[in-house]
């Protein structure tokens, strides 16, 4: 069941956090103008050819990935609940010269009102399912806006990762939409990860950020994510699992690998830290 009151709390928390996150990223418009990209190989490999494709980027945050996709020829629309993020994305589009349409909305409201069969690709990545209070209408909405033959692509942190806290202590339940209230709100994970999440060059920016607004997450398992799409008639093309995290250095003692990837600490058995999903609408 949708929990719109908790979504509204998350909007406020993300507004505050987004300002801190972007304070570390310097002149992002110049970075994009000069051919820079914030995308990782995993999402590009799953997305495939983008030139001329209509692409809907849900929970697009401040638009850096959306505009990196536009630079590869996609016709992009980004949607996010955060006013701060969408305002920044619009400015970034203008400053970089990369075209994109950005709309501020709760993803559920946007999907419910969008015209059907409009997009070749719907895309989400990195820390999106945690903020969704009900996956059934999410999957239904995505299925509805895809053109026949269109695909939904997701690159996401693995639900196994969210069983643990930052010290790798088993803390949280697996899946089922379990509600996780967080009194500290959305944190400054960009400062925590440093250069891993800032290919444009990390800057110190806001120090010791403390979010004044609490936030609310939801624990979903792999089956919770995939099955609603299958029930809506989409076909599973690929499911990949990766034993590293792109850009995110959120567990104490993580080891950096080439390509801004992070591995679990030395001596810890390998666990999947991300997964990639591609499903296709028949047609």
- CATH number, domain of 250, equals 3.40.50.150
What pLDDT does residue 47 have? 98
Torsion sign, CA atoms 183, 180, 132, 195: positive
Which pLDDT band holds residue 195 (cuts at 50, 70, 90)? confident
What pLDDT does residue 200 have? 86
Lowest mean pLDDT among 20-24, 78-82, 163-167, 201-205: 201-205
Task: Report how many domains make up the chain.
Answer: 1
What pLDDT does residue 260 have? 94
Residue 103 CB-density burial (10 A; 0-12 exposed, 13-18 middle, 19+ buried): middle
Percent of residues, the chain, with pLDDT higher than 90: 95
| Average pLDDT of the segment spanning 56-85 | 98
Per-residue pLDDT at 19 exceeds 90:
yes
* Nearest alpha carbon to residue 56 among 133, 14, 117: 117
Which residue range is the domain that position 113 belongs to? 4-280
What's this model's pTM, rounded to 2 decimal places?
A: 0.96
Residue 278 CB-density burial (10 A; 0-12 exposed, 13-18 middle, 19+ buried): buried
What pLDDT does residue 234 have? 98
* Nearest alpha carbon to residue 76 among 66, 68, 86: 66
């Amino acid at each position: 069941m949708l929990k719109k009151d908790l979504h509204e709390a998350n909007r406020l928390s993300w507004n505050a956090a987004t300002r801190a996150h972007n304070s570390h990223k310097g002149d992002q418009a110049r970075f994009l103008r000069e051919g820079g990209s914030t995308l990782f190989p995993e999402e590009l490999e799953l997305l495939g050819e983008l030139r001329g494709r209509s692409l809907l980027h849900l929970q697009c945050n401040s638009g850096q990935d959306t505009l990196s996709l536009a630079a590869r020829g996609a016709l992009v629309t980004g949607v996010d609940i955060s006013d701060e993020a969408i305002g920044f994305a619009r400015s970034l589009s203008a400053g970089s010269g990369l075209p994109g349409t950005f709309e501020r909305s709760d993803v559920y409201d946007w999907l419910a009102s969008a015209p059907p069969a409009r997009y070749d690709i719907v895309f989400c990545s990195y820390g999106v399912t945690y903020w969704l209070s009900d996956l059934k209408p999410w999957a239904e909405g995505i299925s509805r806006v895809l053109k026949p033959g269109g695909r939904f692509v997701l690159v996401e942190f693995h639900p196994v990762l969210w069983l643990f806290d930052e010290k790798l202590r088993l803390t949280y339940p697996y899946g089922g939409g379990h509600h996780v209230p967080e009194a500290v709100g959305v944190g400054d994970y960009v400062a925590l990860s440093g250069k891993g999440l800032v290919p444009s060059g990390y800057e110190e920016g806001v120090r010791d950020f403390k979010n004044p607004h609490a936030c609310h997450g939801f624990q979903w398992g792999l089956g919770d994510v995939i099955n609603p799409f299958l029930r809506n008639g989409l076909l599973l093309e690929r499911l990949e699992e990766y034993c590293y995290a792109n850009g995110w250095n959120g567990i104490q003692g993580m080891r950096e690998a080439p390509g801004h990837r992070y591995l679990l600490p030395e001596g810890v058995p390998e666990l999947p830290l991300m997964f990639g999903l591609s499903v296709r609408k028949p047609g």
